[in-house]
Copies of this chain bind each other. A is one copy, B any other.
Amino acid sequence: MVQDRAAAAVSEARQWARLMALAEIGGFAAGEDFGVNRPCLSVGDRAARRLMIGWAEAIGCSVSVDAAANLFFRREGRDPSLAPVLTGSHMDSQPEGGRFDGIWGVVAGLEALTALHDAGVVTRRAVELVAWTNEEGGRFRPGCTGSMPWAGHTALAAFAEVLDPDGIRYGDALAEQLALEADIPRRGLGAKGGITPHAYVEAHIEQGPILEAEGVDIGVVSGIQGSRWFTVTLSGATAHAGTAPLRGRLDAVQDMVRAVVALNALTADPSDTLRFTVARVEVSPNTSNSVANRVRFTIDLRHPDAAVLRAKGDAIEGVIRGAVTGCAVSIEENFHAMPVVFDPLVTGAVAASAAAEGLRQRALPSGAFHDAQFVVPVCPTGMIFVPSRGGISHNPAEYSSPAQLAAGARVLVRTLVTLAG
């Protein structure tokens, strides 16, 4: 069978070597681990993309980029008029991230294309690999600013004014990237560009502990929990830390503490399913002896049940207003992705591929969001998970073994061949 030939051509060593070569770009030692800090639209991002382009061109793929800087590699099929099968993930990392989150899905896609090339398999439909821009949101909030405009979820222009921590506009960083990649042929953005895929499948590390704990090789991802992101701004008044009596202060740090304590109560969940995280805090003027007049902090709220996500998210503003003692409160919702369920066309192909490989598999939902979440309304979509050691992710200790990743690549290439006919 053609799937068997393609899967047999997957090289564990080649895939690992490419992954480690990419990890060197933005890589840093962290104790015994090796982390990656490769923000989107950075020098490192561009270097990583050039490395990928070289490998893809060597196996005869055509390369193109769209207005959102999403990077595409196309292996032509027997009938170029048919909608292609799309796979991919993202190449940007968290500021203190690991070597696998996102980038493995891109490298696995390249491994699949390379296996097809080496095995001489030509599918009926073209197979395309995409590296989505800025999935993480680590530099420019929110994430998925490549896949969202591609899918028609949000206009690209809506992100232009977003600033990174250095005050650089997303629009400017994107324009710079496109100018530096002007040698790469441009394609239209998403469905508007006439390239609506037949199906989309994304390979990714689990970033959670379930597969490892249960001794399972492959997660057939059933869907993605929903996410709501908020930015809260508390505005008080500066005052001299030595002279201003505590009673009259409008201390934004103290009101943030009150707000977080109240939000912890709102989001308390004995089942530990709900995810509530405050992880970005900016204080102004941020000098030790002047009472803070402004604190801005983020809330990341996730739950697989749309009703719970809606109710808890909608309650946030009232809870904060009830908790603070004097600061003015302003809350902005920056991102809202409802839970999604994946398509049986893709989940079935993934399950069959894992079975054909003789791997242990299970269905599970994704706790993290992924670009796949935004592709759902465009075409049948699914994901493949491989185990993450200790469930650790967004951390230099993130790890999946060469063998686990090779198994994932074999399942991916089988799935792509099945979907591409």
Contact = CB atoms under 8 A, between A and B. Distances in A.
A137 B260 contact: no
A313 interface: no
Nearest to A247: B272
A225 B242 CA distance: 8
Interface stretch (A74-82, A191-199, A288-296): A288-296
Interface size classification for chain A: 35 or more
Interface stretch (A47-55, A124-132, A273-281): A273-281
Contact of A283 (B275, B279, B290, B391): B279
Given A143-B289, A393-B243, A261 B257 contact: yes
Contacts of A285: 94-96, 138
A251 B284 CA distance: 22
Given A96-B284, A237-B395, A242-B368, A278 B254 contact: yes
Contacts of A287: 94-95, 136-138, 279-280
Given A246-B275, A285-B94, A367 B291 contact: no
Query: Which one of A97, A237, A288 has the highest number of Cβ atoms from chain B below 10 Å of its Cβ?
Result: A288
Nearest to A290: B394
Contacts of A243: 206-208, 275, 366-368, 391, 393
B242 A288 contact: no
Given A240-B394, A281-B281, A288 B275 contact: no
Given A243-B207, A367-B243, A391-B244, A279 B272 contact: no
A238 B96 contact: yes
A136 B241 CA distance: 11
Given A238-B96, A240-B367, A241-B277, A289 B300 contact: yes
Contacts of A306: none
Contacts of A272: 245-247
A288 B261 contact: no
12 contacts: A138-B285, A138-B290, A206-B243, A241-B277, A241-B394, A244-B393, A246-B272, A254-B264, A281-B281, A281-B292, A282-B286, A288-B299
Given A246-B269, A253-B278, A279-B286, 19 more contacts: A94-B238, A95-B290, A96-B290, A97-B290, A138-B287, A138-B290, A141-B288, A165-B286, A240-B368, A240-B394, A244-B393, A246-B275, A246-B276, A247-B272, A257-B261, A277-B291, A279-B288, A279-B291, A288-B300
Interface of A: 94-97, 136-138, 141, 143, 165, 206-208, 225, 227, 229, 237-247, 251, 253-254, 257, 260-261, 264, 269, 272, 274-293, 295, 298-300, 302, 366-369, 391-395
